[in-house]
Amino acid sequence: QIMIPVAAFAVTVTGASAFNTDMLSKIDVDLTASQVSALEEAHELRVDGVDREEVKTFLEDAGIDEDTMKEIKEATREVRDTQREAVKTALDNDDYDAFLTASADSPLADAITSEADFATFKAAHELRASGDYEGAQELMSELGIEKPAGQGGRGGEMGGAHKERGDGEGGPRGEQAAE
């Protein structure tokens, strides 16, 4: 049952295009270099459309069992929760430098590249907090952070997929930021 998230791990837990060894280096899970490599390859397999059962078997053959996947998922969630709280604190304190630190190595860092972008992101956060989800989403769209399909009211800054500005192609799935 947890192996369904195996495919999901490579595609959603860390984000479809955001999966990388940076996240694995931030979590406290004992993985061998070959297991890290297997996770990266599993991600590529899923992106290429390989069947989840094949990916599951591939990961099991690499020594990544259900317990390891649970451990990775929990550790990833903890890192993202810590990052989300640091981003929220930076927004609450209107602290661009703290935001840069909190969002480093995340898709938010790619979307918010100036103090003006930070001000727009903060305004979107404030609109969302006041219940103006549409207004918040408009500002998030200006930043290239789009609400992913199937996310209902959890748009933009909450796990939203972002697009690289100007190219119209979908980019990495956004990091979970402040609610």
pLDDT at 170: 37
Share of the chain above pLDDT 70, in %: 68
pTM for the whole thing? 0.61
pLDDT at 171: 36
Q: Which two tokens mark 121?
A: 């992101």
**Contacts of residue 2, Cβ cutoff 8 Å, sequence gap at least 6:** 66, 69, 70, 73
| Residue indicated by tokens 């290429």 | 48
Weakest mean pLDDT among 21-30, 58-67, 109-118, 145-154: 145-154
User: What does the alpha-carbon distance between residue 107 and residue 123 come to, in Å, rounded to a whole number?
Assistant: 19
Residue 117 has pLDDT above 70, yes or no: yes
pLDDT at 21: 58
Per residue in 72-106, pLDDT (tens digit) is: 888 888 888 998 999 999 999 999 999 999 988 78
Residue 163 has pLDDT above 90, yes or no: no
pLDDT at 20: 53
User: What does the alpha-carbon distance between residue 104 and residue 107 come to, in Å, rounded to a whole number?
Assistant: 8
Q: What does pLDDT average to over the chain?
A: 74
Residue 167 has pLDDT above 60, yes or no: no
In eight-state DSSP terms, residue 158 is B
Q: At 163, phi and psi to the nearest 5?
A: -110, 140
